[in-house]
Structure 1
Amino acid sequence: MDTDPSPGPTNDRANFGQYRAEAHGMSVAGTTFGGQVLSWIADGRERLFRGPADRHAEGTAVRGGIPVIFPQFAMRGSGGRHGFARRVSWRRVAEDVPGRLTFMLEDDASTRQAWPHPFRLQLEALLSPRALSVALNVCNTGTAPFDFAAALHTYLRTDDVTRARLSGLEGHHFHDSTRGEDALDPGPTLTLDSREIDRIYADVEAPLHYEDGQQRLAITMTGFRDVVLWNPGPEKAAGLPDLATGDHRRFICIEAARILSPVELPPGESWRGEQVFSLRADG
């Protein structure tokens, strides 16, 4: 079995109870705090951004990696921003599959104070040849239906966001949260810059293609219908205590999400959403 603690499980701000798995010449690391992927190293390079560990405040969500957004997105609900899942302790599920990490969260008294439904979440990160897949499984373990929103809030690492290019969103409508208005992406390639971007793209089916001069990725998803693009820009980043100066230029969030049409889940039923990152042959 190639899944081992790295280092041993802790709850301190620097390590968050990390575990690591290796396969196919790559590694993935995750934490029991928030059931969150923190690192994906492929071809000798870190592919995910993570904020400085010494700036993380105890009890707050970890900045970077792939936080789990559940059961609401942003303030689109009556609970706290982005829900509670990314701010509570999950448990690691022992693995005998090479290159896989699994974390689980089930309802308890504290979650029911925030959201009064019985549930079980499972986050799976799996390495396959030249790819990382991250899947969120939601099970309704109660006797009444519930609905929820969810997202994998992926922070892709880049040396300079102004060099980033994204295609596959052309012709899709999006909601611009910075302006509170809807628009249509003309495409074919979205060129990013260092200004704030906060968009929710609806009904995305085609694969996305991302490149930034250093890496080229194909991004696909199943179960999720929306794609969120987010970067705080310099002004908002300056007000985020868990980012260092200039960090906003070192990542772009490309999130797989179910926001605009939340999932309605009957009792005893399950839902699965997955995001897959594949290294393109030229990157």
Structure 2
Amino acid sequence: MDIDSVVIASPSSNARVFHQGAHVEQWTPQGQEPVVWVSQASAYQVGKSIRGGIPIIFPWFNQGRTLGLRPRHGFARTTKWEYLGSRPLPEGGMQATWFFDPTSAQEAEGADLFPYDYALHYRVSCDEALTVELEITNLSDEDFECELAFHTYLQVGDIERTTLEGLDGVEAVNPFISPEHFTQEGNVESLTGIDRVFFSGPNLTVRDEALSRNIQVESEGATNTIVWNPGPEGAAGMSDMGDDEWRQMLCVEAGCIYDNAIVVEPGRTHTLSYRLSTTSL
């Protein structure tokens, strides 16, 4: 591997985080299968995104609201963050912190497209749950608008035996199929090849029959839930994903994207948080 990482270990779970992108690459509770998935074909190279884990999407999602922005999903996920160290939590867990500002990305592709003064602080807390928190502070003298997301890849035993519970009645759109919004009715049961945006932050349960567990996903500061699985055709077109790996992963993302992009006023901070925990079926 060409990029450095740190392991955050607690009595109940452990996580590995790469300094490039402050990228949580895995999280595993004691005695369980990993909860955060990563592709066996993923590149671990300078300037290359990791296929899996929890990429930090900032300051735009995909190609941005105006389209055509590069790189896709912004520059934060492929730029090295400053690691500020770790500390024990009162409950017995561990927390690590990273820092990112415009000087970190001054040579990065696309950095000139977001010409503001800002600071990002990112905390990863590891105990019986995994909690990640991103604080965006506007240090400039004008408002700025940005999109952000935690592009979280979850490990499941079999995507065809996996169900999402907790999105019944939420407004949604399949953006690459139709611009029409609709209301989700019942659980989301057909997840192979899904690419759906919900207009509510994720507070839901991933029911995984194959691994006999539930994954609880909770968030604050998010206006959207993005659910994605590439299916067999999508996976076949990715050099950093095995042809059959789509069966064991599901992205359940928390974000503020598209028309729900956030506006941060001078001197103000927006915080996006995301929490994972598990229970047995």
If the length of structure 1 is used for normalisation, what is the TM-score? 0.88
- 1:145-160 equivalences in 2 (<5 Å): 145-160=143-158
How far apart are residue 55 of structure 1 and its match?
Answer: 4.3
- 2:176 corresponds to: 178
Deviation of 1:89 (Å): 0.9
Deviation string for 1:25-79 (max 9, x for gaps)? 2101101111111110113221111112564564221110000000111122453
**Amino acid of the residue matched to residue 59 of structure 2?**
P
5 Å-filtered alignment, 1:200-215, equals 200-204=197-201, 207-213=203-209, 214=211, 215=213
Q: Which residue of 2 aligns with 1:52?
A: 40
Q: Find the partner of 1:89 among 57, 62, 80.
A: 80
CA RMSD of aligned residues (A): 1.8
Q: Give, as a single letter, the amino acid of the residue that structure 1 aligns with 2:132.
A: V
Give unmatched runs, 5+ long, in structure 2. Answer: none
SS at match of 2:37: coil
> Between the two proteins, what is the percent identity of the paired residues?
25
1:8 alignment partner in structure 2? none
For the residue of structure 1 that corresponds to 2:260, the secondary structure is strand
Q: Which residue of 2 aligns with 1:32?
A: 19
1:106 is matched with which residue? 101
Moved over 3 A (4+): 53-58
> What TM-score, normalized to structure 2?
0.88
| 2:86 match: secondary structure | coil
1:197 and 2:194 equivalent?
Answer: yes
Structure 1 residue matching 2:232: 3-state secondary structure: helix
Structure 1 unaligned regions, length at least 5: 1-11
How many pairs does the alignment contain? 266
Q: Deviations over 1:179-232 (max 9, x none)?
A: 0333434432111343x2111100347x30111121212211100111000111
Q: Aligned pair in 2 of structure 1 residues 262, 186: CA closer, same or farther (>3 Å)?
A: closer
In the alignment, the residues of structure 1 paired with residue 162 and residue 208 of structure 2 have an alpha-carbon distance, to the nearest angstrom, of 4
Q: Letter of the aligned partner of 1:212 in structure 2?
A: D
Amino acid at match of 2:136: V
Which residue identity does 2:194 align to in structure 1? I
Mean Cα displacement is larger for which, 207-216 or 105-114? 105-114
User: Aligned letter for 1:198?
Assistant: D
